[in-house]
Structure 1
Amino acid sequence: MIPIHYSVIIQWSDEDQAFIAEVPELPGCSTHGDTYEEVIKNAQEVIELWLVNAMATGKEIPPPRVAA
């Protein structure tokens, strides 16, 4: 798969006592992790799973946002 770079927003959740990662360009694409390193790893995995599922089901794949 060609590398595609999506935005990932990472925030600490006091309620969950975990880091939460969301990918704004990919609806429903989010994950969590106990450490910053873990949430980054999990975000990479969930993005790949989201894209594989989109390709398998014929869903449109949104382009990544471009930072100015």
Structure 2
Amino acid sequence: MKTKTLTAIVYREDDLYVAECPEVGTVDQGETIEEAIANLKEATKLYLEECPLPDDISPRFVTSIEVDYAEIA
């Protein structure tokens, strides 16, 4: 069994949390952040059992940026 460290991006959409793994393209959801991540882990595991990733893939670096912009009315 292999273990890989991958990225999970979690955000709120309506009344659910959505979790995405950008390296694989899997997406899942849950009523809590923990549930969304657990569901994403299961979906990603099932995906990787059918479509393995190359060994040289590395996790993404996720950060925040602040952008100033003008609103046009």
- Computing the radius of gyration over CA atoms, which structure comes out larger, 1 or 2? 2
Q: Note the residue ranges of structure 2 that are not aligned, 5 or more in a row.
A: 62-73
Per the TM alignment, residue 64 of structure 1 is displaced from its structure 2 partner at its CA by 3.0
Kindly tell me the number of residue pairs found equivalent between the two proteins: 59
The TM-score, its normalising length taken from structure 1, stands at 0.75
Q: Which has the higher helix share?
A: 1
Q: Note the residue ranges of structure 1 that are not aligned, 5 or more in a row.
A: 56-60
State how far apart, in whole Å, the 1-side matches of 2:48 and 2:59 are: 16
- The answer to whether the 8 A contact 1:31-1:39 is kept is yes
Find the counterpart in structure 2 of residue 6 from structure 1.
6
Per the TM alignment, residue 66 of structure 1 is displaced from its structure 2 partner at its CA by 5.6
- The answer to whether the 8 A contact 2:7-2:60 is kept is no
Runs of 4+ in 1 over 6 A off after TM superposition: none
5 Å matches for 1:36-55? Answer: 36-55=33-52
RMSD: 1.6
The TM-score, its normalising length taken from structure 2, stands at 0.70
Instruction: Give percent identity, aligned residues only.
Output: 29
